[in-house]
Amino acid sequence: MPLKVRRIENGTVLDHLPPGTAPLILDILNVDVERTTVLMAINVESSKMGRKDILKIEGKFLEEEEANRVALIAPNATVNIIRNYSVAEKFKVKPPERIEGIVRCPNPNCITNDEREPVEPVFIRESTDDLEYRCRYCERVIRAEQLRELLR
Amino acid sequence: MLENRHVISVRDFTREEIEVILDHAERMEEVYERGGDDRLSGKVLATLFFSPSTRTRLSFETAMLRLGGDVISLVGKEAASTAKGENLADTVRTVEKYCDAIVLRHPKEGAARLAADYASVPVINAGDGANQHPTQTFLDLYTIRKEKGRIEGLKVGLMGDLKYGRTVHSLAYALALFGAEIHLISPEELRMPRYIVRELEEAGAADVEEHRDVRPILGELDVLYVIRIQKEMFPDPEEYERVKGSYRITRELIEEHAREDLIIMHPLPRVDEVDPDVDELPQARYFDQVRNGVVVRMALLDLLLGGEE
């Protein structure tokens, strides 16, 4: 089936995103939608996934660490860096070392849930397990899939 | 190595760094015995206690005074301007201007880490909610090493509320770092969380075993560390009623099952988990822990404020 969104000249294409997650991912990547051209395909057919989302961001070249933030929502996402209409670089996202600001801590007694304090939640990946994160503040260990549900 | 370091979590320290603290505490014994000296003269320690404590605050303050330093203190939520709505970050940025180090106890988990983010003087965590209380762990390790000459390879029983007990989580982690054999003794409802047990194995514990009953294992233990059931840690009061008193150390139990050279430890305060007539037994060490707490905190304050290792 021909792709419904056009090619971009320079920028980043995020592919293999779970269906319906593209708007959230755009949000997580802090894309300034008022100044950036973004092409979003939601719920398109995919041979691998059945259905998927695709995100094309014109003029923004995602660094690996930045792109890895996406892994929380789209663990199988692929990132294509496009230069002059062709793929200059391609990589799969990996679980990020550090998740800052985008996920709230599930522990209600964690200081990061106190609205009076000037603090952003920070989670650090456990060295022993790619899928576990520890709150930098209350030190509670949280599975990656649980973190996904706690996106702010 | 430790000058100006924050002391927030046992997890921030390597075995080697903890050994530096324990070694320094050993040297501090002599200073303690002669009533102190004046090496921290001119230094000011601020103790900020937003949740209740008796021994921890007094222990820190004594340690500072014994080394010739001064103490300023803010106790209870009402005393602090937090009553007027000031946040912890602002309180810390204010208090640090008055002192050379801050000791903080706060009901929220992660409070000490936040304070350390904002403070340029060392922050010592004296308990952040149910999370960490690192100096308790240091003094427990010190007591074990002092009594037994080593920690590695010892069989240490941790008994009581292993689910909510903050003390025992940090201590178990540190014991694992030192290669002890850890026996977890608790009622089913108060078992140590799975992720902590797994972490103990990964951190280097010689072995980790779980028991429902203390009797079968008591005769093998070098150390029995008992903690109370903390009512305030239970979200459900019914659960508390069900398990309280379901473990208890009595004189008969120790005399019948324990080795002569066992040591019994407890972070205090106790409720009814260790009978008062156990106090007279040669195995009881909990009031020695209190004493050792002062020695260890003297050592820590000295190291953080520039004393030679």
8 A C-beta contact, residue A92 and residue A77: yes
CB pairs under 8 A between A and B: 56
On whether residue B305 sits in a domain, the answer given is no
Residues 6+ away with beta carbon under 8 Å from A95: A68, A71, A72, A75, A125, A130, A131, A144
Please tell me the total number of residues recorded for chain A in this structure. Answer: 152
- What per-residue string of b and e applies to B16-25 under the rule 16 or more CB within 10 Å gives b? eebebbbebb
Catalytic residue (one of B47, B56, B137, B167): B56
Tell me the residue range of the domain where B220 lies. Answer: 134-289
On whether residue B2 sits in a domain, the answer given is no
Nearest C-alpha of chain B: how many angstroms from A108? 9
On whether residue A48 sits in a domain, the answer given is yes
On whether residue B299 sits in a domain, the answer given is no
Note the pLDDT tens digit of each residue in A24-81.
Answer: 999 889 888 899 999 999 999 988 889 999 999 999 999 998 899 898 889 899 999 9
- Both B55 and B194 in one domain: the answer is no
Q: What angle do CA B263, B269, B274 make, to 5 degrees?
A: 45
Q: CA neighbours within 13 Å on the CB side: how many for B65?
A: 11
8 A C-beta contact, residue B189 and residue B236: no
Q: Tell me the chain B residues in contact with residue A114 when contact means C-beta distances shorter than 8 Å.
A: 87-88, 108
Per-residue pLDDT at B69: 98
User: Domain containing A76 — which CATH number?
Assistant: 3.30.70.140
On whether residue A38 sits in a domain, the answer given is yes
Task: Identify from B77, B113, B137 which residue to disrupt to test chain A contact, counting A C-beta atoms within 10 A and taking the largest count.
Answer: B113
Is B291 a catalytic site residue?
no
Q: Is B168 left (phi over 0), alpha (psi -120 to 50) or beta?
A: alpha
Output the tens digit of pLDDT for each of chain B's 309 residues: 899 999 999 999 999 999 999 999 999 999 999 999 999 999 999 999 998 888 899 999 999 999 999 999 988 766 666 667 789 999 999 999 999 999 999 999 999 999 999 999 999 999 999 899 999 999 999 999 999 999 999 999 999 989 888 789 899 999 999 999 999 999 888 899 888 898 899 999 999 999 999 999 999 999 999 998 777 766 788 877 777 766 889 999 999 999 999 999 999 988 889 999 999 999 999 999 999 999 999 999 999 998 887
**Alpha-carbon span A3 to A1, nearest angstrom:** 6
Q: CA neighbours within 13 Å on the CB side: how many for B281?
A: 25
- Both A18 and A45 in one domain: the answer is yes
Nearest C-alpha of chain A: how many angstroms from B245? 27
Is B137 a catalytic site residue?
no
Give how many domains chain A has, as a whole number: 2
- Both A57 and A110 in one domain: the answer is no
Nearest C-alpha of chain B: how many angstroms from A106? 12
Q: CA neighbours within 13 Å on the CB side: how many for B1?
A: 13
Q: Which of A41, A45, A40, A50 is nearest to A1 (CA)?
A: A45
Nearest by CB to residue B9, choosing from A107, A111, A139, is: A139
Give the count of beta carbons closer than 10 Å to the beta carbon of residue B204. 14
Across the interface, whether the CB atoms of B114 and A139 are under 8 A apart is answered: no
Residue in A with minimal Cα distance to B116? A137
On whether residue A6 sits in a domain, the answer given is no
Q: Tell me the chain B residues in contact with residue A138 when contact means C-beta distances shorter than 8 Å.
A: 109-110, 128-129, 131
Q: Tell me the chain A residues in contact with residue B108 when contact means C-beta distances shorter than 8 Å.
A: 109-111, 114
Is B84 a catalytic site residue?
yes
Is B24 a catalytic site residue?
no
Q: Which of A112, A116, A117, A118 is nearest to A134 (CA)?
A: A112
Residues 6+ away with beta carbon under 8 Å from B137: B10, B167, B170, B171, B173, B174
User: Domain containing B252 — which CATH number?
Assistant: 3.40.50.1370
ipTM of the complex: 0.89
User: Domain containing A110 — which CATH number?
Assistant: 2.30.30.20
- Both A111 and A64 in one domain: the answer is no
Residue in B with minimal Cα distance to A113? B108
Is B215 a catalytic site residue?
no
Nearest C-alpha of chain B: how many angstroms from A98? 16
On whether residue A5 sits in a domain, the answer given is no
Give the count of beta carbons closer than 10 Å to the beta carbon of residue A106. 16
Alpha carbon B233 to its chain centroid, in Å, reads 17
Please tell me the total number of residues recorded for chain B in this structure. Answer: 309
Catalytic residue (one of B6, B24, B133, B244): B133
Secondary structure element (H or E) that encloses residue A92, with its range: strand A86-92
On whether residue A66 sits in a domain, the answer given is yes
**Alpha-carbon span B109 to A127, nearest angstrom:** 22
Alpha-carbon distance values, B62 to A106, A116, B75, B125 (Å): 38, 33, 16, 17
- Both B83 and B153 in one domain: the answer is no
